[in-house]
């Protein structure tokens, strides 16, 4: 039997994937927006019946998240996304002038490489595939090694539906043998047009994205401030429900709660009523001892687990209805591991004397580990809201709503998206919610207009020439007179 190292297989597979996607994109250039929309319609209707099975497989493989929450997210997210995509024009003629001349054209980029996270794999894979198709691009899905089986099942379903809908062979691909060498080959390949990194920072931090535009969309560590003008009961419940949804796996889920001093006791009381458990110092030490492998690395087994599970596996017990574990801190410790990005239902609670101190604390929390791309605030004071909006180094701010839901466009004015740009974390070139248009560029057409100034200059030159001719004629006449 012949054995081949996985890294070598991964490199060869990477080349084939990119080249196949490149060739498919050549064919895809001939598709109009209506052709692509028909593929999306068939994909959306065809994949819906497969989602429960795919979610079951995802949870079985990753042991993370909550099935009911994931299905609920699909039910709420997909109809809004479908409605957004339905009549949207992304490629082809986007704008014409009064003479029916094309002024702006949307152009696809080519091969899109998507580095998938280890959480919410199905929804992230589906969203990335949909916006790639919508924008006329081909897509390569790159899973984490432990999620290859899940992405393989998703790919088999989606590829079959898209082939039946008329998409070229190779337009959608996935990496079967995921190894760093193969991933690097995809990122560095000259035919890879753009990279979408959904929460896999090592490829960016290790400079493995070579001369490629990259969109980064991590989970983030979101601070939320509750001031004295807020509906405290509603705010506390909203934070706990948002942070505990799918065991904290949604992007932009709250991680830090800052309460204004005059309402801090009420905030704590309402959080406890909503399912928050404030840990003792001893319980917190036990949690930290299990949660972190070292100072900066979270034990992956704790990702997407419930608050009750986290406590049990750390050696202490909490009520069965506990939704989140809370660490209360007087101020930010430089060595506090809770400032790391956490993908589980844990919150850190701070009390601030007023909104100005809270404003500065939010900035410090966002900059400590540079993980925050989103901020939330509960307040009815427009001046305070505006001050936060003007000064915070984030790509989006949620006002009086759950950060995890509102940030992805559910019940908010933000664009519906699963990929939240992380420019403010120092990664990627986009800070906003990533949508199909971000996988295109716009070609502007300029038409020459009659140049009035040039006409004037021509007339002036003509006049100068006429005067010169008159001078010559006059000189001839004078000479003739003198000769006589």
Which residues lie closer than 8 Å to 466 by C-beta, 6 or more apart? Answer: none
Model pLDDT, residue 199: 86
Model pLDDT, residue 294: 78
Report how far residue 133's alpha carbon sits from residue 72's, in angstroms, rounded to the nearest whole number.
25
pLDDT tens figures, 307-363: 999 999 999 999 999 999 999 988 776 667 888 889 999 999 999 999 999 999 898
Report how far residue 169's alpha carbon sits from residue 75's, in angstroms, rounded to the nearest whole number.
30
Report how far residue 463's alpha carbon sits from residue 38's, in angstroms, rounded to the nearest whole number.
64
Which residues lie closer than 8 Å to 12 by C-beta, 6 or more apart? Answer: none
Q: Can you say how many angstroms the Cα of residue 242 is from the centroid of all Cα atoms in its chain?
A: 18
Q: Is residue 280 exposed (0-12), middle (13-18) or buried (19+ Cβ within 10 Å)? A: exposed
**Three-state SS at 252:** coil
Quick check: 371 pLDDT over 80?
A: no
Model pLDDT, residue 483: 64
Beta bridge partners of 257: 224, 349
Report how far residue 391's alpha carbon sits from residue 386's, in angstroms, rounded to the nearest whole number.
9
Residues above pLDDT 90, as percent of the chain: 76
296-299 contacts at long range (C-beta below 8 A, 24 or more positions apart): 296/337, 296/340, 298/340, 298/341, 298/342, 298/343, 298/344
Report how far residue 301's alpha carbon sits from residue 63's, in angstroms, rounded to the nearest whole number.
8
pLDDT tens figures, 14-71: 999 999 999 999 999 999 999 999 999 999 999 999 999 999 999 999 999 999 999 9
What's the pTM value of the predicted model, to 2 decimals? Answer: 0.90
Question: Mean of the pLDDT values across residues 387-412?
Answer: 94
């Amino acid at each position: 039997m012949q054995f081949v190292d996985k890294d070598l297989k991964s490199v060869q597979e990477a080349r084939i994937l990119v080249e196949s996607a490149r060739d498919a994109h050549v064919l895809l250039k001939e598709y109009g927006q209506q052709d692509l929309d028909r593929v999306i319609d068939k994909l959306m209707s065809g994949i819906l019946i497969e989602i429960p099975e795919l979610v079951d497989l995802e949870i079985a493989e990753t042991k993370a998240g909550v099935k009911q929450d994931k299905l609920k997210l699909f039910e709420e997210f997909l109809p809004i996304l479908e409605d957004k995509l339905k009549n949207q024009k992304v490629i082809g003629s986007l704008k014409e002038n009064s003479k029916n001349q094309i002024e702006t054209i949307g152009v696809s980029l080519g091969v899109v490489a998507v580095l998938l996270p280890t959480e919410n794999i199905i929804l992230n894979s589906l969203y990335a595939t949909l916006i790639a198709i919508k924008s006329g691009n081909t897509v390569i899905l790159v899973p984490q090694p432990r999620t290859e089986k899940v992405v393989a099942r998703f790919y088999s379903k989606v590829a079959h539906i898209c082939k039946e809908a008329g998409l070229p062979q190779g337009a959608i691909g996935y990496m079967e043998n995921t190894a760093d060498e193969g991933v690097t080959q995809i990122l560095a390949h000259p035919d890879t047009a753009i990279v979408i990194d959904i929460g896999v920072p090592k490829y960016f931090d290790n400079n493995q994205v070579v001369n490629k535009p990259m969109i980064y969309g991590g989970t983030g560590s979101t601070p939320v401030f509750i001031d004295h003008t807020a509906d405290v009961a509603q705010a506390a419940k909203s934070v706990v429900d948002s942070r505990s949804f799918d065991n904290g796996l949604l992007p932009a889920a709250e991680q830090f709660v800052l309460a204004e001093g005059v309402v801090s006791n009420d905030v704590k009381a309402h959080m406890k009523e909503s399912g928050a458990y404030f840990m003792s110092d001893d319980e917190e030490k036990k949690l930290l001892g299990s949660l972190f492998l070292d100072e900066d690395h979270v034990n992956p087994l704790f990702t997407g687990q419930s608050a009750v599970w986290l406590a049990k596996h750390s050696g202490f017990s909490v009520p069965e209805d506990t939704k989140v574990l809370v660490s209360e801190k007087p101020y930010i410790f430089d060595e506090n591991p809770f400032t790391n990005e956490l993908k589980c239902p844990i919150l850190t609670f701070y009390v601030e004397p007023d909104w100005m101190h809270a404003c500065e604390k939010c900035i410090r929390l966002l900059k400590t580990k540079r993980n925050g791309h989103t901020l939330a605030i509960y307040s009815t004071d427009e001046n305070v809201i505006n001050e936060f909006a003007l000064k915070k180094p984030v790509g989006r701010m949620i006002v009086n709503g759950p950060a995890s839901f509102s940030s992805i466009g559910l019940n908010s004015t933000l664009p519906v998206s699963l990929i939240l740009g992380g420019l403010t974390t120092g990664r990627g070139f986009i800070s906003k919610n990533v949508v199909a248009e971000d996988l295109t560029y716009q070609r502007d057409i300029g038409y020459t207009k009659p140049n009035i100034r040039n006409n004037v200059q021509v007339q002036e030159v003509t006049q100068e020439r006429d005067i010169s001719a008159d001078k010559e004629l006059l000189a001839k006449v004078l000479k003739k007179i003198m000769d006589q």
